[in-house]
């Protein structure tokens, strides 16, 4: 029985974790804990809106059963934030702002908050209520060459504050949680692993034939796909080199790249330039097609239409692309990271982050037998993945409830 199942068993057998509501004076009906979720628009994070939508919908699935009430805490004076917030479900409780900065103590008092969930590292420590934070990964420890010294110092300061001041710290993988426990052993017991699901489990898939979307971009009936932002660590060049090696061995694999073609860490936009130049140097123009950022509906249709999704990233905390591929039933090949093996043990194969030959060999082995066309994304399959969304919401909601009751964080972990 996994930790999540153990938690639910304790929940049913001992009402101490869930039963107590927040006490009210005079014997009045107790009220559920009020949980504020900090929201801020982050234009540089292409998957940001999707992540928040997934988070809120997962929390909605569990809030009633776990006995919490929640709303979004957003700066109502920020037009971009409010526009993006319209894409999210749930109530917006707003932030109290003074001199252009959130006043967390006033915000907590105004909304009678018992807990704050901070997914953005907004440092709401002055709120006077328990804070649950999220650390996506420790990429700066593993790949410091992709960060400026200022970025590294900022991340280390922020993460140390989260470790010290948070009631609990959420992690999207055991891989990330292990890094945290090693780096902050004094606060290791605050780690809670909550593996997030694909946002697609909550979506109605685009109508129409996915092959028609592929044809609109003049893609062949059978192609592979890399759906990552054009950031340096996403490692697109390895796929280009592998496609060239496979072609020289007689296996031609058309590949399409989708994603925001910029890296906030490189104002000169070097990653995109290097991708284009690598395609040209390997003589793969027309075979490797960089589409850049495309409409979301088109992205999903291409993921449904492709024969293979490749995730070559040098580092991930928990890959949204891999989650989407699993939900849509698409074959996967992933770089050989611990988190990828944790997340996608059923992948066709794993390859070294600096080993294009390994990926080329995998393509040579599997590509000829992979089928073209739509994957296994029936409504029944998508509904099956809702269970992982509920578990994710339950772990988060139970952790919030635990914080409201001033208990140590719930020892729970979602399934993969």
**Given this model, what pLDDT does residue 266 score?**
80
| Helix 270-281 / helix 236-248 crossing angle, nearest 10 deg | 0
**Given this model, what pLDDT does residue 45 score?**
62
**Given this model, what pLDDT does residue 304 score?**
94
Domains and CATH numbers, the chain: 3-200+386-404 (3.40.50), 206-369 (3.40.50.2000)
Output the DSSP codes for 221-267.
SS-EEEE--S-GGG-HHHHHHHHHHHHHTT----EEEES-S--TT-T
Distances (CA, A) of 50 to 199, 268, 391, 410, 415: 6, 27, 18, 26, 21
**Given this model, what pLDDT does residue 374 score?**
61
pLDDT tens, residue order, the chain (416 aa):
344 444 444 333 323 333 445 554 455 556 899 999 998 776 656 567 778 889 999 999 999 999 999 999 988 887 887 887 777 777 889 899 888 889 999 999 999 999 999 998 888 999 999 999 999 999 999 999 999 999 999 999 999 999 999 999 999 999 999 999 999 999 999 999 999 999 999 888 899 999 999 999 999 999 999 999 999 999 999 999 999 999 999 999 999 999 989 887 788 888 899 999 999 999 999 999 999 999 999 999 999 999 999 999 999 999 999 999 999 999 999 999 999 999 999 999 999 999 999 999 999 999 999 998 666 666 666 777 788 899 999 999 999 999 998 755 655 555 55
Select from 415, 346, 399 the least CA-distant residue to 132. 399
Q: How far apart are CA 57 and CA 392, in angstroms?
A: 10
**Given this model, what pLDDT does residue 13 score?**
31
SS3 state at 30: coil
**Given this model, what pLDDT does residue 44 score?**
57
Strands 101-102 and 191-193: unpaired
**Given this model, what pLDDT does residue 75 score?**
85
**Given this model, what pLDDT does residue 27 score?**
53
**Given this model, what pLDDT does residue 88 score?**
77
Select from 187, 285, 198, 275 the least CA-distant residue to 232. 275
Strands 308-311 and 288-292: unpaired
**Given this model, what pLDDT does residue 51 score?**
85
């Amino acid at each position: 029985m996994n930790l999540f199942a153990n938690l639910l068993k304790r929940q049913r057998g001992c009402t101490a974790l869930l039963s107590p509501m927040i006490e009210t004076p005079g014997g009045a009906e107790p009220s559920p804990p009020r949980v504020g979720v900090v929201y801020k628009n982050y234009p540089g994070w292409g998957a940001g809106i999707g992540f928040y939508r997934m988070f809120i919908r997962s929390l909605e699935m569990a809030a009633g059963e776990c006995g919490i009430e929640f709303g979004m805490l957003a700066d109502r004076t920020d037009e971009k934030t409010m526009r993006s917030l319209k894409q999210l479900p749930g109530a917006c409780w707003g932030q109290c702002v003074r001199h252009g900065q959130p006043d967390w103590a006033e915000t907590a008092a105004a909304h009678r908050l018992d807990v704050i969930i901070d997914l953005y590292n907004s440092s709401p420590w002055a709120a006077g209520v328990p804070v649950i934070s999220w650390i996506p990964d420790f990429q700066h420890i593993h790949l410091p060459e992709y960060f400026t010294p200022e970025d590294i110092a900022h991340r280390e300061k922020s993460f140390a504050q989260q470790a010290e001041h948070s009631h609990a710290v959420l992690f999207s993988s055991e891989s990330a949680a292990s890094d945290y426990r090693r780096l902050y052993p004094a606060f290791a017991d605050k780690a809670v692993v909550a593996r997030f699901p694909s946002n697609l489990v909550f979506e109605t898939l685009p109508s129409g034939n996915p092959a028609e979307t592929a044809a609109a971009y003049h893609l062949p009936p059978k192609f592979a796909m890399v759906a990552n932002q054009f950031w340096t660590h996403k490692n697109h060049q390895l796929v280009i080199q592998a496609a060239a090696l496979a072609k020289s061995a007689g296996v031609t694999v058309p590949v399409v790249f989708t994603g925001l073609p910029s890296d906030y860490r490189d104002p000169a936009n070097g990653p995109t330039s290097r991708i284009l130049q690598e395609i040209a140097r390997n003589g793969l123009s027309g075979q490797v097609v960089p589409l850049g950022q495309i409409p979301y509906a088109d992205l999903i249709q291409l993921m449904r239409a492709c024969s293979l999704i490749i995730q070559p990233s040098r580092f991930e905390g928990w890959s949204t692309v891999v989650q989407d591929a699993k939900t849509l039933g698409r074959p996967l090949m992933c770089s050989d990271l611990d988190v990828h093996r944790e997340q996608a043990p059923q992948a066709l194969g794993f390859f070294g982050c600096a080993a294009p030959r390994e990926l080329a060999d995998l393509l040579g082995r599997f590509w000829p037998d992979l089928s073209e066309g739509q994957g296994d994304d029936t409504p029944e399959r998508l509904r099956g993945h809702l269970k992982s969304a509920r578990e994710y919401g339950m772990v988060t909601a139970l952790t919030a409830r635990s914080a409201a009751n001033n208990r140590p964080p719930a020892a729970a972990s979602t399934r993969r």
